[in-house]
Structure 1
Amino acid sequence: MSLAVAARRRFSSVDWRDPNTLTYVGLGFLALIYPTVVYLINPDQGPALVSQAADAGVFVVMALGLNVVVGFAGLLDLGYAAFFAIGAYTYGMLASGQLALSPIGHEVHLPFWVLLFVAVLVAATCGAILGAPTLRLRGDYLAIVTLGFGEIVPRVFRNLSQFTGGVNAISAIDAPVLPFWIDGPWDGGASFAVVQNLKFTAGEPTAYYVLMVLIIVAVVVVIRNAQRSRIGRAWMAVREDEVAAEAMGVNTVNIKLLAFAIGASVSGFAGCYFGAKLSTVSPENFTFLVSVTILLMVTLGGMGNIPGAIVGALVIYFVQYKLLSDLPHWVASAASALSLSQHATNVATDYATRLNFVIFGLILAVTMLLRPQGLLPSRVRAQELQRGTTDESVFDASAT
């Protein structure tokens, strides 16, 4: 009875006018109905669209992790893709036959559910190792060091060809298998029809989608609890003024190390899932462009705000990997509908392909000019930007 009362009080205390609450509800509802709607509207393209949504979830998870480092602690990290690579290669080497070609000489096939946590630990350790020597650096200097780390890690994996496959990548990686209590023998009852269809295969990506939704929920719960705790307040203090935070008794060294470790562990979590879903791990998947893209997602969505990071990741992924990728095809279809010549169609398609990143840059520039605080900013961030652009005095701004 006490649990029911506590749940009722918790539900009644929710502010349903809060944009963050509405965003959580909307995203949760969309995640639940998306596969069903897609399969009903377009059965032929349903598996591909569900698989693409699972891929978008990888970027959502990484944006949530980078939001801890950049949005909460205020530490500019330009090498975030390095931890993504560490998580992916950890799974690739320990869930394939790659190590049989190395001096170890034996294949290793650990379960996916174990390697998820192994990848988290390895990535968190690497994050702490990166953060330890850079604690005295701030701003642009910290960005340069993290950029160097992000460039070093993929090249190290590329050169360790005996362990990582080098430029040939690690292929034929083990697919996840459902736990025995879910994947066990059933009596054929209709109640287990959905569970039996959750098979981790390329032709049926629903299981990967469900797993990604669960991962996002778990990451959001952990990060949100950390943000609302004493650690989150310490991150905010370090972000606003590190000297003042240290004077007030905040252990800035441990706080910044913790931010690096948590951000790296979340990225390693995403990398492990990415390697399992793609069934191959290549150094080309972890370039500097990935780090920049994740930073854009956090900035565009709203730094320091968890729902903002999710919205920014989904918007950037849709624009970059769906809208602009399909733009040449749409241009060709429009040219065909207008009965243009083949030469004119080819020229229009070629320009649409070349101008992809130009259009992408213009969208980002216009968005940030019109809404510099992001699409869904945190209250603190929005107030800082709004007060910084007014003509009122400092006393009047602080009094409001």
Structure 2
Amino acid sequence: MAIPGATTLSDETAGRVPPALRGILPVLIAVPLVVLADVLLNTSPFATYLLSVVGVNIILAVSLNIVNGMTGQFSIGHAGFMAVGAYIAGVTSLELKEVALSFLPVAASDQVLFTVALLAGGTCAALCGFLVGLPSLRLRGDYLAIVTLGFGEIIRVVVQNTEAFGRALGLSGIPQYSSVAMVYFWVFLVVLVARRIAGSSHGRSLWAIREDEVAAEAMGVDTTGYKVRAFVISSFFAGIAGGLFAHFVPIINPGSFTFVKSMEIVVMVVLGGLGSSTGAIVAAIFLTLLPEGLRSLFGALGAGGSLAQKVDQIRMPVYGILLVVLMLARPQGLFGTKELWDVLPRWLPRKKKGLT
């Protein structure tokens, strides 16, 4: 039993960090780590591609968790915002392809232009999120899901019939600026933003809306305003994920942003636990690497290339089976509303001071 006023090791550690550094400390730690990872993986194109896909899916899952998990809404059109970010960022990069910032080295100039393209894609996706969210977030439950699903399909049809976006054949020639370091820097940012929101007064308002929207509104919470803000933030990071995706694949086409992609992201959020950022991360990593694991397994069993090539076709049935089993065994998801560090002490007890 803890003595009132006792100091734990974590409290002491936090106290030793100067207040001026607490806000920037995560950035100072994350940047060298992602650069080191990029350098170590630069010799393996497949590892770079696979880790980039994992990172993009983490961004999508964590950003959707802000709406579906923290706010308790049900959006199934996240791939639509990803598509907006991908195409706007791709077109922006193509327009800026011949631009060179003479006062910077070529590599640095490319990354600056890449960042501009990403922010353009994220901003356009956030604007779409605002335009869709402002009227539709007055709706609840299944009605909101139908609206977001319709938005995703509208974006797909518009892209298919717009010549500037390559129509159904896809948009090619986008500069391959993306890297593992850039992808995971944005992974770090979306996780940081999600955690800061969850621990803020805005986050408490979102949790209140999730638990009981009528009671939250009765207590003076601007439910529509908070839901729209959450939707805009989520859409912004979905657009960033789309922009990153567009810059490490040879070609993007509407088939990459269908309803199936939206459902993949929803499955990641539900599997990890609605409201758990680390749960979304774990689920995104697992479900992204699962097809590659199945391919390796079929190859090791001598199943041949034909069966291994069908992994993508059986992926959604496997996801469906996982969801059924999960809903029967653990309806709240792997972590529920808790984070990984809330669960670990059960397995790895931490020694604390000031305990009797």
- State the TM bucket, normalised to the shorter chain: 0.7 to 0.9
Residues 171-190 of structure 1 deviation map (CA, whole Å, 9 limit, x = unaligned): 111233xxxxxxxxxxxxxx
Residues 235-283 of structure 1 deviation map (CA, whole Å, 9 limit, x = unaligned): 1111111111111111112111101101100100111111111143211
Displacement after TM superposition at 1:38 (Å): 7.3
Verify: 1:258 aligned to 2:256, yes or no. no
1:53 to 51, 55, 76: 51
Verify: 1:222 aligned to 2:193, yes or no. yes
Which residue does 1:145 correspond to in 2? 147
Displacement after TM superposition at 1:11 (Å): 6.6
Cα distance, 1:50–1:11 mapped onto 2, change above 3 Å? farther
Is the 1:328–1:350 Cα contact (8 Å) retained in structure 2?
Answer: no
Is the 1:98–1:170 Cα contact (8 Å) retained in structure 2?
Answer: no
Is the 2:246–2:252 Cα contact (8 Å) retained in structure 1?
Answer: yes
Displacement after TM superposition at 1:363 (Å): 3.1
Q: Distance in 2 between matches of 1:113 and 1:8?
A: 38
Displacement after TM superposition at 1:324 (Å): 3.0
The one-letter amino acid paired with 2:293 is L
Residues 88-146 of structure 1 deviation map (CA, whole Å, 9 limit, x = unaligned): 001111111699xxxxxxxxx99111122222211111001001121321111111111
Which residue does 1:267 correspond to in 2? 238
Verify: 1:10 aligned to 2:14, yes or no. yes
1:322 to 278, 292, 308: 292
Summarize the alignment of residues 337-348 of structure 1 with structure 2, pairs less than 5 Å apart: none
The one-letter amino acid paired with 1:329 is G
Q: Distance in 1 between matches of 2:11 and 2:338?
A: 26
Q: Distance in 1 between matches of 2:189 and 2:308?
A: 42
Q: TM-score, with normalisation over the residues of structure 2? A: 0.76
Cα distance, 1:347–1:78 mapped onto 2, change above 3 Å? closer
Secondary structure at 1:136's aligned position in 2?
coil
Verify: 1:166 aligned to 2:167, yes or no. yes
Displacement after TM superposition at 1:357 (Å): 4.2
Which residue does 1:388 correspond to in 2? none
Q: Distance in 2 between matches of 1:350 and 1:314?
A: 21
Residues 164-220 of structure 1 deviation map (CA, whole Å, 9 limit, x = unaligned): 1101211111233xxxxxxxxxxxxxxxxxxxxxxx6xxxxxxx1121221111111
Q: Distance in 1 between matches of 2:305 and 2:80?
A: 38
Displacement after TM superposition at 1:221 (Å): 1.2
Which residue does 2:118 correspond to in 1? 116
Q: Distance in 2 between matches of 1:227 and 1:306?
A: 9
**Runs (5+) with no aligned partner, structure 2:** 1-9, 18-29, 98-109, 340-356
Residues 6-43 of structure 1 deviation map (CA, whole Å, 9 limit, x = unaligned): 99641789xxxxxxxxxxxxx99x9899778879xxx7
Secondary structure at 1:120's aligned position in 2?
helix
Verify: 1:374 aligned to 2:344, yes or no. no
Is the 2:90–2:117 Cα contact (8 Å) retained in structure 1?
Answer: no
Residues 305-349 of structure 1 deviation map (CA, whole Å, 9 limit, x = unaligned): 111111111111111x3123444423325xxxxxxxxxxx79977
Cα distance, 1:121–1:248 mapped onto 2, change above 3 Å? same
Summarize the alignment of residues 1-400 of structure 1 with structure 2, pairs less than 5 Å apart: 9-10=13-14, 46-96=44-94, 111-161=113-163, 163-176=164-177, 208-319=179-290, 321-332=291-302, 355-379=314-338
Displacement after TM superposition at 1:356 (Å): 4.8
Q: Distance in 1 between matches of 2:199 and 2:12?
A: 21
Cα distance, 1:351–1:55 mapped onto 2, change above 3 Å? closer
Q: TM-score, with normalisation over the residues of structure 1? A: 0.68
Secondary structure at 1:95's aligned position in 2?
helix
Displacement after TM superposition at 1:289 (Å): 0.6
Which residue does 2:351 correspond to in 1? none
Secondary structure at 1:375's aligned position in 2?
coil
Q: Distance in 2 between matches of 1:7 and 1:118?
A: 41
Displacement after TM superposition at 1:58 (Å): 0.2
Tell me how large the CA RMSD over aligned residues is: 3.3
Larger Rg: 1
Q: Distance in 1 between matches of 2:96 and 2:39?
A: 38
The one-letter amino acid paired with 1:149 is F
Cα distance, 1:364–1:37 mapped onto 2, change above 3 Å? farther
Is the 1:328–1:353 Cα contact (8 Å) retained in structure 2?
Answer: no
The one-letter amino acid paired with 1:373 is Q
The one-letter amino acid paired with 2:194 is I
Residues 339-377 of structure 1 deviation map (CA, whole Å, 9 limit, x = unaligned): xxxxxx799779878655444433332233222221222
Which residue does 1:387 correspond to in 2? none
